[in-house]
Amino acid sequence: MSMKKTLSATFHLTHQCNLRCDYCYTGEKLPISMAQKTVDASIGFVLKEAKENNIDRLQITFFGGEPLLEKEHIFYIIDQLESRKEAVAITYGMSTNGTLITEELMQQLAEKRVFVSLSMDGNPETNDMHRPLAGGQGSSKKVMQAAKIMLKHNPATNVNCVITPASAAQLTNSVDWIFSLGFKYITTTLDYSADWSVDDFKTLKRSYKKLAKWYEAKMIAEERFYLSFFDERIRTRTLPPLTKNERCFIGQKQFSIAPDGALYPCIQFVTTEGLPEYIIGHVEHGFDKTCQHHISCCSEKPKPECQGCMLESRCSKWCSCINFMSTGSIEKVSPVVCYNEKILIEIVDKTADRLWKKRNNMFVHKHYNPDYPIISHIEINL
């Protein structure tokens, strides 16, 4: 059986946002949104790429700024794609700060089959530390209202939680708070562009140890959940290393469309500050194959700083976007990634070993049953 060919396209509908997150990489928030002409050209370009490359599945993501500031474009794009998609299957996703979510809007998104992820960093104090409204007020009250609505429509809603040097000590509290609200899918990530000191990593390591105890307790209690920091690292131990075809393959299997129609290899390169060296084309005239190939080759170059490392096959050094955010280069491995993976994998492996020795039913089911993700998703939604 041949593998299905997937193409991921992200529509960056606007550079504007009603929050002022201090770790946001997209640059100054400007009232620049995708014009209708560019929207139509983008739809045509995505469908053309899918047809010419015999794509079986399209993954469409709506991004910003805050994409819900342009909700009319979201529904228009979906309607157009659905009416013109021919044989390709399409899934829709969106990441939102939640402050514009209403019951009516969530119902509309659910009817359009848009999987909506919520950005939230923890309890109100931790969340508002980095994610204030444009006027400076905290955003947590509105986010909490959105959380209830989103879980009502989709109990499997994912939360994106960013960890910074300032919030590292609160990591376990943040995860537990999010989990206590009812969210079972939590994607944790570091602020890779931050200035992480040795002391910050010592704090983070202590937090990982606390989080390991939390993770182990939830597994023993047979809770169904996904925590990226732990589950993804365990996956690198229980399953073979990711192949080149399984990775994001920057600028090839995925691309981002900026509000002006310029094409970029991934979301981190779409900013208001301008990065012309990473533009790989435009929706009106297609990909610049030379630039596209150059970026792909740079991304795939061997990383000499990783030679001899026992964790090379397990860490995320291959992610060009993370490397770019940390070092400014897609070719140089992020030292933040390197240090983080070394301390995290050691703690995760010890946790996994303890659960394995106990023959914990949930651990074995979760990490050795290939049907678990489907079963878990169904049961959480029941």
pLDDT tens digits for range 246-299: 566 677 789 999 999 999 999 989 998 878 889 999 999 999 989 888 888 877
For the segment 330-343, what is each residue's pLDDT rounded down to a tens digit?
888 888 988 999 99
Q: What is the pTM of this model?
A: 0.92
Residues 6+ apart with CB under 8 A from 71: 100, 105
| Greatest Cα pair distance in the chain | 60
* Cα gap 163→16, rounded to integer Å: 23
* 100 phi/psi in degrees, rounded to 5: -105, 0
| Low-confidence residues of the chain: pLDDT under 70 | 1-3, 241-249, 378, 382
* Domain limits, the chain: 7-154+242-300
Structure tokens at 214: 């939390």
Burial (Cβ within 10 Å: 0-12, 13-18, ≥19) of residue 185: buried
E-only strand ranges, the chain: 6-12, 57-63, 89-96, 114-119, 158-163, 185-190, 226-227, 254-257, 262-264, 281-282, 286-287
Q: Which fold has domain 7-154+242-300?
A: TIM Barrel (3.20.20)
Residue 286: the pLDDT is: 94
Residue 204's Cα: distance from chain center in Å?
A: 21
Burial (Cβ within 10 Å: 0-12, 13-18, ≥19) of residue 208: buried
What phi-psi label fits residue 177: left (phi over 0), alpha (psi between -120 and 50 degrees) or beta?
alpha
* Cα gap 12→26, rounded to integer Å: 11
Q: Is the dihedral of CA 224, 229, 235, 238 positive or negative?
A: negative
